[in-house]
Amino acid sequence: MREPGVGLLGTAYLRSLQAVGRFLPYGTSVYTRDWDVLVVLDACRVDLLRDVAPDTGLLRDIGTLRSVGSSSSEWLENTFRDEPAVEETVMVTGNTWTDRYLDATRFSALDEVWKYSWDEDVGTVPADAITDRAIALARSHDPEQLVVHYMQPHHPFVPAPLTGDDGMSRTGDHSSRSNPWTLLRRGEMTQAEVWAAYEANLRHVLPEVATLVENVTGRVAVTADHANLFGEWGLYGHPMYTPVPALLQVPWAVTTGEGHDTYTPSLEPPEPLPVSRVHTDTGAQTQLGALGYL
């Protein structure tokens, strides 16, 4: 079923791009870069981070990297599926696609924080829960490499929620059917309104990244799994298999962990950890519908 205002021509256009995108060479794996701690800011654009970072003092030189996927599911699969270094990697994540696309047994540890710290009121995983668990595992496991995947600045926009955005779903779709990109395409929101909320969400998570950097050691790289489209090539959000440069170009910035002991983790995962799968093999139709393109 198509969303109101999205015709057959728009659906055919996206599907044509995706058909090409499935066969194009992917970008650069983060494992080819030098890092001890990898901070993933879900759906963060390069230009957004460059606009905000000077106000934080956290990052200076923000370069770019071509992502290995235009959606989280692609990025997870193409980053970790065949990577030997995964065996020495600890991952702390708020991204719900891990349950479907990652094999937890291959990791030194995989902490799926979204399974036990989901905030139903805002429809996402709080950034401080990710920080807490990342610092805890950095100290308890002393991993060769630590991946810390924050959901922000991906919608829902925690400090500046948009009317009509019903958050993310935990029942098989990464995005709901009513999200900022659908609202933008329908003309129910302006780009300025969504950009302001998107920016506020990045500003919301960066203090958590600063706390993480203060409490871990080694080379800390900050990146994203993919970006978001704001009308480039006539598209919005982050459809999968979509080879649009503005969507695949993600930030790459490096800083140094300070190794202080200023934060005391308090969040304890339940025992035993939840293992139930929430995703089903929904196929392309549901994926497009979840992103508002059907």
How does pLDDT run across 98-156, given as a tens digit for each residue? 999 999 999 999 999 999 999 999 999 999 999 999 999 999 999 999 999 999 999 99
Q: DSSP 3-state assignment of 236? A: strand
- Give me the sign of the Cα torsion angle 253, 79, 76, 165: positive
| 68 vs 22: CA distance, rounded Å | 11
User: What is the rounded (10 degree) CA torsion for 5, 11, 12, 15?
Assistant: 160
Q: Are 109 and 141 in contact (CB under 8 A)?
A: yes
Task: Quote the pLDDT of residue 291.
Answer: 35
Task: Quote the pLDDT of residue 8.
Answer: 56
Q: Are 216 and 138 in contact (CB under 8 A)?
A: yes
Q: Are 208 and 42 in contact (CB under 8 A)?
A: no
Among 100, 66, 111, 92, CA closest to 225: 66
pLDDT at 286 over 90: no
Task: Quote the pLDDT of residue 92.
Answer: 98
CATH class of the structural domain 32-257: alpha beta
Give the burial class of 30: count Cβ atoms within 10 A of its Cβ; 0-12 exposed, 13-18 middle, 19 or more buried: buried
CA angle, residues 125, 111, 201, in degrees to nearest 5: 25
Helices (H), 33-142: 46-52, 72-80, 98-101, 127-141
**Averaged pLDDT for residues 74-79:** 97
| 139 vs 249: CA distance, rounded Å | 32
Percent of the chain topping pLDDT 90: 77
Structure pTM?
Answer: 0.90
| 193 vs 64: CA distance, rounded Å | 26
How does pLDDT run across 210-236, given as a tens digit for each residue? 999 999 999 999 999 999 999 999 999
